[in-house]
Amino acid sequence: LYLATDPDREGEAISWHLLESIKPPKGMPVHRVLFNEITPSGIQKAMAAPTVINKKLVDAQRARRVLDRLVGYKVSQVLWDKVRRGLSAGRVQSVAVRLIVDREREIEAFNPVEYWVLKGRFAAKTPPAFWMKLTRLSGSPVQLGNKETKTRISSEKQAHALRDMIVAAAWKVTSLETKEKKRNPAAPFNTAKLQQEAAQKLRMSVTRTMQNAQRLYEGVDFGEGPVGLITYMRTDSPRLAPEAVTAIRELVADRYGKDYVPAKARVYKGKAAAQDAHEAIRPTDITRTPESMKNRLEPDQFRLYALIWRRTVASQMESAIFDETVVEAETKLPSGEAAAFEAKGEIERFPGWLVVYRAAQEEQKAEDINETTVAEEGEEEAVGLPALKVGMPLKLEHLDTDQQFTKPPARFSEATLVKELEEDGIGRPSTYASIIATIQDRDYVKKHEGRFKPTELGCVVTDLLVQGFQELMEPTYTSGLEGQLDRVEEGDLTFLKAMKDFYGPFEKLLARAGKDMLNLKAGIPAGVECKKCKAPMLKRIGKNGLFLGCSRYPECDHTEELEKLEEPEDAPECPLCGSTPMNLRKGQFGPFWACTNYPA
């Protein structure tokens, strides 16, 4: 009996359950075969070296399933009791929603700060003219983005005063430095990185990415039966098998030349917490180029295969080499301040791995060059520079003053949410597609222009869960729990010990939440009367969020929309200390008045 389910926790558990159900005759040999690719050679190699079911993996899968059900069932029941039926919570999904809610509140609380950027077009003896930015005043860096610096040009008046002095000044090159800059290729894809890159470059959702990767792994029929085109797509490792590295280096030498093959093969290491059970996601046969596969695959499958192929090939190529020149022009202004403008120029000396992307078809080239050469956040975009030397006079031909404002953090996209979850150790990449689908299906978040915005329901449920299950809702706690589950997989912790360590504290959390958590189902006094029967109105939650409902329901079914937070013309004075005016603030259950002297 050969058991050949997927080579992961779930696959191992399925094999174990199959064995329990089949109950083979006593004495029948039972083998567990593991293959990372569905190819003739991959299957033959696995069949030639069978192993046994890994009980540690089975226990690890069981532990995750039990924990997820404990948290999901028990915490969801509290929400049913305290808010309304049909709501759900989860060990990972609730923390993911909290990340989105917290980000939205950062955005709401953000106060933009005005700053001005001065940009001049300078000309030397020979063309081309080039643009430089004012980067320093009196030796202090000038603010050019969100990062706060000691010196900020904060108003149009200040910007124009500087402009008048700068235009009247004489300029020359005071510093010129050229140095070699290497740009290394990225590591081969693991699951999380593939999800992020496909979302960013192919506009492919995490769910679609995993569906297409599954089809590429399961294989395409070329006339002699299905052949898997990529290795197993659920992995946390960037490692490549030695035979794959050899094949890639040979292809690079044949296709691009020996100069593009590094003297030593590149070795990529995963994170310390990575299980490294499977190698990176790569083509099973690197000679199957994207061009040769275009007419054999569906459009989405082809685009994903091309993304994986190029990333894999580039990962074993030489670095791209550039000469980066930084030029600075400085002068003393009439005000006595020293002003310095700066520009960066870049000349490519050797394209290295970039040729993989430049050789692609034109429409894909536009996407993939972005993928690999875009400047890091905060880096200046390189400009073309003429021949320059220190002491050379420069003519300021034009000066722009540009008003800008600091920007709030961006809402999460699928790519950035996956990145955040991965970096925080929340959940596992193989579960991200279902998590992202679930939080949308539950109406906790919605997509707005490709980014996640929490619904009112998502905000309210998150606030209640943080109030009642503070520890459970902390990303660090969820990450630590993942570490405990990994220990079960490694055999350092038994299933029973893991369950006992979790359930004792969890039971106390449940009891406390049942007692202390606000009861929205019962309603929260709103401080206003029902317009129909004069009874007190209560804040309640429905499928569309918070609303005002009569406390005499169902005898009186009067409801009203909860008023939006609007600052009235006459704010009341504080009834305790007499301070005026009070501030109208927005809390988790609607607007309220707060004393300006709080917390005094």
Residue numbers annotated as active site: 232
**521 vs 75: CA distance, rounded Å:** 16
Q: Which of 125, 137, 194 is nearest to 166 (CA)?
A: 137
Rg of the chain over all Cα atoms, to the nearest angstrom = 31
Q: What is the DSSP letter of 233?
A: S
Q: Tell me which residue of 301, 306, 274 sits closest to 371, measured CA to CA.
A: 306
What's the CA gap between 438 and 534, in Å, rounded?
Answer: 41
User: Residue 416 in 3-state DSSP?
Assistant: helix
Positive or negative: CA dihedral 37, 40, 41, 46: positive
3-state secondary structure of 143: coil
DSSP letter at 540 equals: E
Instruction: Name which of 443, 474, 447, 437 is nearest 456 in CA terms.
Output: 443
Which residues are CB-neighbours of 162 under 8 A, at least 6 positions away?
118, 134, 153, 333, 339
Rounded to whole angstroms, the Cα distance separating 291 from 280 reads 22
Q: How far apart are CA 518 and CA 540, in angstroms?
A: 11
In the block, residue with structure tokens 């020149």: 325
Residue 130 CB neighbour total at 10 angstroms:
19
Distance, CA of 432 to CA of 421 (rounded, Å): 8
CA distance linking residue 96 with residue 39, whole number of Å: 37
Length of the chain: 600
Q: Go through 336-363 and write b for each residue having 16 or more CB atoms within 10 A of its CB, e for each that does not.
A: ebebbbbbbbeeeeebbbbbbbeebeee
Query: What would you measure as the largest C-alpha separation in the chain, in angstroms?
Result: 97
State how far the alpha carbon of 95 is from the alpha carbons of 67, 257, 422, 573, in Å. 15, 49, 13, 39
In contact, 1 and 31? CB cutoff 8 Å:
yes
For 226: left if phi > 0, alpha if psi spans -120 to 50, otherwise beta; the answer is: beta
Query: Per-residue DSSP letters for 447-489?
Result: EETTEEEE-HHHHHHHHHHHHH-TTTT-HHHHHHHHHHHHHHH
- Per DSSP, helices labelled H in 139-188 are 156-168
Pair 104, 454: CB distance under 8 Å: yes
**Surface-to-core class of residue 437, CB atoms within 10 Å of its CB (0-12 exposed, 13-18 middle, 19+ buried):** middle
